[in-house]
Amino acid sequence: MRVCILGSGLTALTLAKALVNQNIFVDLVSSNKNDKINHSRTIGISESNFNYFNRNIANIEKISWKLNKIEIYNDKNKNEKLLNFENSNNQLFSIIKNYQLYEFLNKNLFKNKYFKKINSKKKLIKTEKYNLIINTEYNNIFTKKYFSKKIEKAYNSFAYTTVINHEKISNHVAVQIFTKIGPLAFLPLSKNKTSIVYSIYNLQDVDRKKIIHLINQHNIKYKITKIEKIENFELKSFNLRSYYHNNILAFGDLLHRIHPLAGQGFNMTIRDIKIFINIIKNKIDLGLPIDSSVNNEFEKNLKHKNYIFSNSIDFVQEFFNFERKFNNNILSKSVKILGKNRFINKLFTKVADKGINF
């Protein structure tokens, strides 16, 4: 069996590693020879996804930092938590730098006999050569031809990311503050480093000086010694209307892209990988062919779940955006009351961990 993966980002590398672990030959073809990996961006991986990653893809314990609590505030009262998520076993989420995971997977795959990386901008993919072609790229002939129809939403916002260096503390609690101009997340990376993700609604004159001022204004616990390079990207959400065409399957952010406020983008991809690998393993065990039927089963299993989950994240974003627009804290007070209910709090935690598949 041979699979072609188009792209060379984290989704492509993670999926490639999951497949070669099943003794499946993978050709990874990228139209971008020099992928630029953002050094200021991080990913959060929920407990169940982290455990799956370690057992079935690669052990990433050494490059991750565990969080045991997530606290939610608004900027009107930074001393009073709206929501508080905890895990008794000391792991709620794990935070990893994008470029560290990228380098780790690249190194791991390079020495695997089932893996081949092809750097070519003009290489023509012969679809009949492969059982499946997995497309993770936004800009190639397959995306333009088969995966352009989507349900899309622009947030008129940009996410600004950086890493702050600070004096050492016991740094295992993530903080998210819903400010007047958008949600701001402090995501610990180590005892003296914390990632920042600030999703700012459409504002003029947002430069490095402005971002630094806002970080310092909302910082509630760090003695900052340095703020690293600040990068940004436009915020959009979308869901593809069709997941596949024949033996070509869209995957990762090409399938579904969501607002970063809940840190669920890569978690959705890991859940997709889990289902995808299980479908292939079941086909192999039953002696069935690995062909477009895999893609059909994948879409039937996940399309509705991913759409519901994506919209639930959008609802949270719009919920707090509504409060911001009308300068009213009634909604926040309601959230605080709900968060004190043990059943609801536990439900929120399960959804964040396992999506709607638990």
- DSSP letters of 318-348? HHHHHHHHHT--HHHHHHHHHHTSHHHHHHH
Contact yes or no for 8/28 (Cβ under 8 A):
yes
Where exactly are the structural domains of the chain? 2-153+235-354
Cα–Cα distance for residue pair 215/219, rounded to 1 Å: 6
Q: Which helix (H) or strand (E) holds 270?
A: helix 265-285
CA of 337: how far to CAs of 139, 174, 352, in Å? 45, 21, 19
- C-beta atoms surrounding 178 within 10 Å: 24
Contact yes or no for 44/94 (Cβ under 8 A):
yes
Structure confidence by residue, pLDDT tens digits, 121-176: 555 677 788 999 999 999 888 999 999 999 999 888 899 999 999 999 999 999 98
Please, which pLDDT band fits residue 358 given cuts at 50, 70 and 90?
Answer: very low
CA of 316: how far to CAs of 167, 320, 323, 357, in Å? 33, 7, 11, 19
Please, which pLDDT band fits residue 216 given cuts at 50, 70 and 90?
Answer: very high
Structure confidence by residue, pLDDT tens digits, 266-296: 999 999 999 999 999 999 999 999 999 999 9
Contact yes or no for 257/36 (Cβ under 8 A):
no
Please, which pLDDT band fits residue 190 given cuts at 50, 70 and 90?
Answer: very high
Structure confidence by residue, pLDDT tens digits, 11-55: 999 999 999 999 999 999 986 655 567 778 899 999 999 999 999
What pLDDT score does 111 carry?
A: 86
Architecture of the 2-153+235-354 domain:
3-Layer(bba) Sandwich (3.50)
Percent of the chain with pLDDT over 90: 60
Percent of the chain with pLDDT over 70: 84
What pLDDT score does 205 carry?
A: 75
What length is written for the chain?
358
Token pair 């719009």: residue? 318
